[in-house]
Amino acid sequence: MTEPTMNEDQNPLTKPKFIISAVVVAIIVALGIILALLPKGGGNPAAEPSNSGSPTASTQPSQEAAASICGLPSGDQAKPATAPADTKWELVGKIAAPTSPTQFGPGKTEANGLRSCFAHSPTGALYAGANMIVLGSSGRPDLLAQYLVAEGPERDKMLSEPPTSAPTTAPFQIAGYKVVDYTGDRAVIEYGLTAANGSVGSVPVAVQWQGGDWKWVLPASGVTEARQLSDLNGFISWAGV
Tens digits of per-residue pLDDT, 150-200?
887 767 776 676 655 554 444 689 999 999 999 999 999 999 988 877 888
- Please tell me the predicted confidence (pLDDT) of residue 6: 37
Q: Which tens digits make up the pLDDT trace of 43-90?
A: 544 444 444 333 333 355 555 457 899 999 999 999 999 999 889 999
Give the whole-angstrom CA distance, residue 213 versus residue 110.
15
- Report whether 131 contacts 113 (CB < 8 A): no
38-42 mean pLDDT: 50
Q: Sign of dihedral through CA atoms 199, 204, 210, 212?
A: positive
Give the whole-angstrom CA distance, residue 207 versus residue 191.
13
Give the whole-angstrom CA distance, residue 47 versus residue 29.
25
- pLDDT cut 90: percent of the chain above it: 40
Q: Look at residue 97 and tell me whether its pLDDT is greater than 70.
A: yes
- Please tell me the predicted confidence (pLDDT) of residue 60: 52
Highest mean pLDDT among 32-36, 48-52, 236-240: 236-240
pTM: 0.76
- Please tell me the predicted confidence (pLDDT) of residue 75: 93
Provide the 8-state DSSP code for 13. Answer: G
Residue 60: other Cβ atoms inside 10 A: 13
Task: Give the chain's mean pLDDT.
Answer: 74
- Please tell me the predicted confidence (pLDDT) of residue 84: 93
